[in-house]
Amino acid sequence: MTVEPQVAEHASEPVKEFNAGESILHHILDSREIEVPFFPQYKIHLPEIHLPDWLGGYDISITKHVVMMWIACAILLVAFALASRRRRDAVPSGLRNMLEVIMVYLRDEVARKSIAHGADRFVGYLMTTFFFILICNLLGLIPGMSTATGNISVTAGLAVIAFVVIQVGGIREYGIVQHFKNLVPHGLPVWLIPIMFCLELLSMFIKPFALCIRLFANMMAGHVVILAFISLIFILNQFWYAVAPFAVGFALFVYVLEILVAFLQAYIFTMLTAQFIGMSVHPAH
């Protein structure tokens, strides 16, 4: 007799249905707390920081993606510090060998071929961009971590830096006036020059915008697909035993593909930035 009231009581309680959209957004959006891996009930709450009103009152709170970028920077500093300890070895090996292979490839096949003369001035920036994006991409594949490059604010910041480097490279080479003159090819009819100048001026901003959206969309899309496959198990919970093998199998396939995408997107962002720098420093006439 005591069981019935308990059953009735539990039956009267509303059962919270699984919301796939809410679950996916929870995992890919930025937040002010970090879940402890494998123990989601424990969370690390990040501090909130607001500037005083006389400085604009802006919210500069530390978020999960900010922490991921700090971790990426720390990993790079440690990795290159360890590699540099054996810089005097005649034959590189281990971590130093792996990093040197990537760095030499970026210098010879990306920077020098895209920018040509004067490319070595930009090698440091291009390498920093590649390794930072790569580590941020890979961190998102670790349980409990998050993909900072899946945040459009982060990719927009990277694109703004690329825009500044592209324009500074051209201005340093030709000066401000000649740099903007180079936007328009020589030999055009007079009536076509204003149209071409406006189009080329617009393309100056479209190029970094494309870098921003491409990196953001590709990194977010992969995580959404993985989470969507896993969500199928909970959406079709009555048939989980039939859905689970396929959902987990496809999710693992996309997960492995995401490792390739992490390298590919870091390379594409770096290569296109080098191409745009080359177009600015050595415009075609």
Most confident of the ranges 108-117, 127-136, 139-148, 168-177: 127-136
Under 8 Å between Cβ of 87 and 249:
no
- What pLDDT, in 10s, does the model give residues 180-218? 888 777 777 888 888 888 888 898 899 999 999 999 999
3-state class (DSSP) for residue 182: coil
pLDDT at 278 over 70: yes
How confident is residue 4, by pLDDT bands cut at 50, 70 and 90?
very low
- Using CA atoms, how far apart are residues 152 and 158, in angstroms rounded to an integer? 10
CB-based contacts of 71-75 (< 8 A; 24+ apart in sequence): 71/139, 71/145, 72/132, 72/135, 72/136, 72/139, 72/148, 73/132, 75/135
- What pLDDT was estimated at residue 130? 96
- CA distances 130 to 76, 98, 133, 245, 272, Å, are 11, 14, 5, 36, 11
pTM of the model: 0.85
